Amino acid sequence: MKENKIGIISCGTISIASLILSIVFSTLDCKWSMNFCFAIMGSAFLSFTICFINYMVLRKKMIEDLVNDIYKFNNDSFSQFGYANSNLELDNLSLVIGVACSHLNHLIFLAYNIKTGLFKIEKKKRKMLDQIINNLENDIQFNFNNIGQYILKRPKKAEQKKEYLNKIIKKLLDDQKAYKLAFKLSKLVKNEARDVEENFQMSQKEFEVNVCDLLEKEIKVMQLKNKLKTKKKQIQKKTTN
């Protein structure tokens, strides 16, 4: 993305400069120089167009990757956290921190790459990326690293306070600021993805409650079917006997 930005700037500059020179040479009646400048302008403009198209495609793809990878970070970390929460041991908490930090390093690197690839005129996108980076790096990764260092350097105290460390980790994983910002950023590059509120016209909490209720209904139907099957088997046994 950064390479395409450089290509756009350099090829655009060459196109404009060669156009101006071709006009100057045409007034001076220097046909060879005029034709040469027109040829340079044509090839530079073609390269400019290719770089611009690549830039637009890569920008959209990288921002979509950022949204998907933040979701993956939350999903993988929560999956590991669920196991650690049921087996509250320092080793399990360390695994959660390791999984989270691995994803966070990738996310921060990706966000920085997107930011350096954007033009300065894209102020809104750059501002949102600054907020995403600040949230991931200073609010989440910094605190995960602190917990990891605490467990490593003071294991006895960490063992005594593991319940509190567990709560701090959950609070960090509950932070949805970066995901919401990244989702808004994806809208600026005309991504067709929609969140829960747009899809189902309800809040995230209402959606989660409805999903759980729907699953409970499905389980009840399965339970009733199993009961009917067992009753049929019992009746068949009685009739055969």
CB 59 within 8 A of CB 1: yes
How far apart (Å, rounded) are the C-alpha atoms in residues 79 and 71?
Answer: 12
Output the 3-class SS for 191-213. Answer: CCCCCHHHHHCCCHHHHHHHHHH
State pLDDT tens for residues 106-149.
999 999 999 999 998 999 999 999 999 999 999 999 999 999 99
State pLDDT tens for residues 76-100.
888 888 877 788 888 888 888 999 9
What Rg value do the Cα atoms of the chain yield, rounded? 29
Residue 18: enclosing H or E segment and its boundaries?
helix 2-27
The residue ranges of every structural domain in the chain are 2-193, 199-229
Phi and psi, residue 218, nearest 5°: -65, -40
May I ask the CATH architecture of the domain 2-193? Answer: Up-down Bundle (1.20)
Task: Provide the residue count of the chain.
Answer: 241
Residue 12 tokens read as 């655009």
Q: Is a pLDDT exceeding 70 seen at residue 161?
A: yes
Q: Which residue has the tokens 């102020």?
A: 123
Residue 63 tokens read as 């921002």
Report pLDDT for 116. 92
Residue 110 Cα to chain centre, angstroms: 9
Output the pTM of the full model. Answer: 0.78
